[in-house]
Each structure stands twice: as structure tokens, then as C-alpha cells.
Amino acid sequence: MSATPVRTPVGIVGAGPAGLFLAHLLHRQGIESVVLETRSREEVEGTIRAGVLEQWTVDLMQDLGLGDRMRREGHFHRGITLRFNGESWHLDFEDLTGGKRVTVYPQHEVLRDLIAARLANGGEIRFGVQDVQLHGLTTDRPRITYRNGDGEPEELHCDFIAGCDGSQGTSRQHVEGRTEYQHLYPFGWLGILVEAPPSHHELIYARHGRGFALLSTRSPDIQRMYLQCGPTDNAADFPDDLIWSELHRRLETVDGWTLTEGRIFQKNVIGMRSFVCDRMQHGRLYIAGDAAHIVPPTGAKGLNLAVADAVYLARGLEDFYGRGRRDRLEQYTATCLRRIWKAERFSWYMTTMLHTNPAEDPFEQRIHLADLDYVVHSRAAATALAENYVGLPLD
């Protein structure tokens, strides 16, 4: 027997960046919501994912009162270093963009902050729910059915549903008339976590004949590094000695810079793909975050795109409840897609420029090196890269 249905203005499916930011943005405007999440709180907070926050995302967290720990523990980078042909070139983002920079603060830490603040404010997050189903999306009374953590059926009645349940969630499947665009890259990343002090003060993106490499930081004692590998490779097939050998070769410089080694305590391989769903709403359902788009991590756009979706959707809902206007909700897909396709373009550009693609001929390989050479010697080209990396304006 189903429990008495719960009523809330907005039902949010998914406690990832899009869903949690949306909940906080709505709460600030006095619009209540309930967040449903299939994973436990421990699973959400324990899923380790890197995070590079654009300037406006950092500003938004501070504006929402969520930035205290980020300010203490995040790493604020003035720019990045591009490395190719054994030489390093620093791109000074603050100089190129009028003072903007990026913040390295892992996504799981962002989620911990959002969850803690949401619960402290009395907001609801129902973890561990199962069998989530959406109903009545083309009516003015949509509802969500699910089973709670004890397996009992429950219902959530809403005015609107936000599908923020990721690329494997159910929400996108309810968007009728959609077209899905996808591009699979012929390589992946082997990611490692290392107990070691930083080898460099900012991110290093390296292109090498043997493949791409990325040097990042997680904390003063933990570093994150990546190696280009095959998309279906198994992390267990990469012994530590091989990993260090490849990292040294791909990151080496003619001036004798050295990489600091340490104990590798985590390895994983991630595939690389781009994905866009060209319709992000159906009736009273609006999808956001990974449910609507995926970018390769080279451009550091994934989390920031999810937050932008949440901002645009929150604005539409604020207009609906505060002014009785629907125009922003009606334009939600078009507004989001303008930003999404620019982020997809930039992520594709960074990925193809920095990786060695076995399917490309020597001519194409030289074009990518010429592109890198142009970026580091042209202020206009460097500015274009910097503007995209630190985050394009929301409006």
C-alpha cells in the first residue's frame, strides 16, 4: 500500500551537481523541493571525481554561502602550462581575462559541501530510493513514484520535475522527439592518485608522440595524474614502473624539470566521449547535467555545465512562481544548448589538439602541433583559450 503522497513544488531526481545546486538556488528564492537519489549518501560523497571550477562557479558557491571549505582547501590557479616538444609555455589566465582564474576543488568535495548545507537548512534529500518512475509529465500535476530505502512505495506530487539523474538515469528517456549526438574518441585516460608533494604549482597539459599526459593536484600531499591510453584498457595491466616511465617521458622537458614520484594508491581508466541531447524538456520535465550532455574531461567543463543548467532552470522557475511568466522555461533548452555546444566545441578542440590519435595521418598530427605553437605565441589565440577555460559569461 502506497504511503500518502508528498507534495512539493519541484521534484529533483538526482543528488549530483545539477540537482543539488538547483535545490539551493530554489531554496534561496523560497521555492521548496525534494531531492531523490538512488545512491546512499556515503556512495555519493565517496565517488572520487576531479573538479576544475570556473570563476563564475566559484563566485556562485560563495554567493550561496557554500564556499568556506573551498576557500580553505581549494587550489587557485592563475593559469595552466602547455607542454610540447620538450618545452613549457605558461598561459596567464588572470592577465588574459581581466583577473579571472580557475579553482581545483574535486567534485566530490563540492557535493559534500552542498549536501551538508542542504541538510543543515532543513532541505530534504532522500537517499537510497529505487525504481524511480515519472508520470503525468504533460499535465500540470506530474508525479514521481519510487521505493524508499525500506522498499516501501512512495509518491511525490510536483508542479515540475528536474531530471538530474545522469547519463544512465531514466529522465532523458521521457523526453519525446529528442535527437542525440555522440562522438567517441579512440583513446581513454589512465588516472592515478599519488601520495607525493606537488611537482608543479598549476596544471600541466602535455602533448607527446607517445600520448597525452596531465599533471594536476588534489592536496599538498595528494596528486592526480593522467596518461592517454586505449579506451578499453584495464588499469590492472599498468604496473607502477610502467606508469612512472611513461609520465617521465611524456612530461620531460629540455630544461631538466623532474616529476616527483610517490606511492600510487588508486588507478582507473575512463573512456572519452562527447554527447548532447538536443531537447532538454518535455511537458513539466526539464533535464540537466549529465542527463543532457557529456564532455571529455580535457576542457574541464562537465561540472560547470551542470551548474549552468541549474542556474538557467532556477531562473525559469523563479519567474514562474514570482511573476507568473513562462518564457524562460519555454526557452530553457535553447538557452542551455547555446552554452553546451560552445563547451562541447572547446572540449573537442582541447582533446584533439593535445592527444595523439592513431587514426590521424602525419599531416593532421603536425596541424595540432602548429595549433599549439600558435596558441602560445599569439595573445589573441591564448585569450580565446583562456576565456573558454575560465568560463564564458552566463548571459
Catalytic residues: 77, 205, 297, 301, 389
Grid cell of 67 as nine digits: 564556499
**Residue among 341, 347, 349, 389 at smallest CA distance from 368:** 349
CB 51 within 8 A of CB 219: no
CB atoms within 10 A of CB 14: 29
Q: Cell match 529528442: residue? A: 178
CB atoms within 10 A of CB 362: 7
Distance CA 74, CA 52 (A): 10
| Single-letter residue type at 180 | E
Distance CA 373, CA 302 (A): 27
Distance CA 287, CA 363 (A): 41
Q: Cell match 523560497: residue? A: 30
Distance CA 107, CA 297 (A): 12
Distance CA 160, CA 250 (A): 50
**Residue among 186, 202, 207 at smallest CA distance from 376:** 207
